[in-house]
Amino acid sequence: MNPSRILFLLLAALTAGLTTWGCASPPKAEKKAAEEAVANARAAGAETYAANELTAAAAQLREAEAQMVAKRYAAAQLSYLRAKEAGLKAAKAVKPGRPP
């Protein structure tokens, strides 16, 4: 076997092992942050003034919850981070659209 192929396979196995080991437990902090961001966007009026952005944030949150049920914690962590960012974007989008 080619030495570079062996190195590639070794690095791939190491990366997969570290990813699995790094997220062997549920991403509680990310979940809380994402839920807070979406709740804050709702409280800011995103349902009225930034519905598309809020819908995207809620979809990411649902995806993360489904991944948690499947115990795919690394994927859930990423989805929670995306949900948080989408929630922040939704809250930010409310400000320009809101009447004085």
All structural domains of the chain with their residue ranges: 24-97
**What is the reported pTM?**
0.73
Residue 63 CB partners (closer than 8 Å, separation 6+): 79, 83
Per residue in 12-24, pLDDT tens?
Answer: 666 665 555 555 8
Say what percent of the chain tops pLDDT 90. Answer: 70
Higher-confidence residue of 3 and 34: namely 34
Q: What is the DSSP letter of 56?
A: H
| Residue in 88, 81, 82 with CA at minimum distance from that of residue 50 | 88
pLDDT at 80: 97
CA 70/CA 43 separation, integer angstroms: 30
Per residue in 36-85, pLDDT tens?
Answer: 999 999 999 999 999 999 999 999 999 999 999 999 999 999 999 999 99
